[in-house]
Amino acid sequence: MSNNNASNNLIIAQRAVKQLRLEASIRRIKVSQAAAELKNFCLQNASKDPLLVGVPSSDNPFRPPKSCSLF
């Protein structure tokens, strides 16, 4: 019984090390480049972001334009 537990723990540890080796080996770009690209994406798409720039009621599907009826 204890042999099984020991060999299970060994397999788990081997897998964990294998995974860490994989994660350690990836190529990383500089934060300055990553940050610049996130910033540029936000700025380039800002005008197309209704929650950011607001939506005029005439273009807002959730807000029917108010109509005024005079009798």
Partner 1 sequence: MGEMEELRKEAESLKDQITAARKTVQDTTLQEAAAGITAVGRVQLKTRKTLRGHLAKIYAMHWGADSTLCVSASQDGKLIVWDSITTNKVNAIPLKSSWVMTCAYAPSGNLVACGGLDNMCSIYNLKGKDGNVKVMRELAAHTGYLSCCRFLSDTEIITSSGDCTCVLWDIETGTEKTIFAGHLGDCMSLAVSPDFKFFISGACDFTAKLWDIREAQCRQTFSGHESDINAIGFFPNGNAVITGSDDATCKLYDLRADQELNTYQDSSIMCGVTSLAPSVSGRLLLAGYDDFNVNIWDTLKSERVGVLAGHDNRVSCIGVSSDGMACCTGSWDSFLKIWN
Contact residues for partner 1 (CB under 8 A)?
Answer: 9-10, 13-14, 16-17, 19-24, 26, 28-39, 41-46, 48-52, 55, 60-63
Q: Which is nearer to partner 1, 24 or 70 (CB)?
A: 24
Residue 9 in contact with residue 16, Cβ under 8 Å? no
CB of 24 to partner 1, least distance (A): 5
CB of 56 to partner 1, least distance (A): 11
Residue 46 in contact with residue 52, Cβ under 8 Å? yes
CA distances 58 to 33, 48, 54, 65, Å, are 40, 16, 12, 6
